[in-house]
Amino acid sequence: MKTLIAVLIGSSMALSFVAGATPCEDLWASNPQAKSESFIRMSEIRPDITNQVKEESINLCESSAKAARHGVSIEYVLSMVNRSSRGLPDAGRLSMAFMAIGGWDIGKQE
């Protein structure tokens, strides 16, 4: 898990260096889950579900950015994400971590 977090942190940092402080909607567009074949297929069948996932992911990003602006550590943000993502498939957990780390990075740069 620590390796995964390091990779996600590196990915979000690379993204922010390339694009500046990316808004959370832009971060969602680069989320591997949003680009996955299964997610795209599901969005054709049940757009209500995938739209809700997108909206909740953007909200998570924005909350993480706000937390970073208020001095909350990334470790604390990730511990909250880990608690709330228990029981989700790995893809869902990774997506949440991606959005939280990216949002936190956005908030730190503002």
Model confidence pLDDT, tens digit, residues 63-80: 999 999 999 999 999 999
Average pLDDT of the residues in 19-43 = 85
Distances, alpha carbon 14 to alpha carbons 9, 34, 47, in Å: 8, 19, 30
Average pLDDT of the residues in 16-42 = 80
- pLDDT reading at 14 higher than 90: no
- pLDDT reading at 18 higher than 60: no
Q: In sequence order, what DSSP letters do the residues of 80-97 get, joined into one string?
A: HHHHHTTTS-HHHHHHHH
Tokens of 5: 């977090």
Widest Cα–Cα separation across the chain? 41
Average pLDDT of the residues in 6-25 = 54
What percent of the chain is predicted at pLDDT more than 90? 74
What's residue 110's pLDDT? 79
- pLDDT reading at 13 higher than 50: no
Distances, alpha carbon 44 to alpha carbons 19, 33, 35, 36, 86, in Å: 29, 15, 13, 13, 27
CA-to-CA distance for 74 and 77, rounded, in angstroms? Answer: 5
Beta-carbon neighbour count of residue 6 at 10 Å? 10
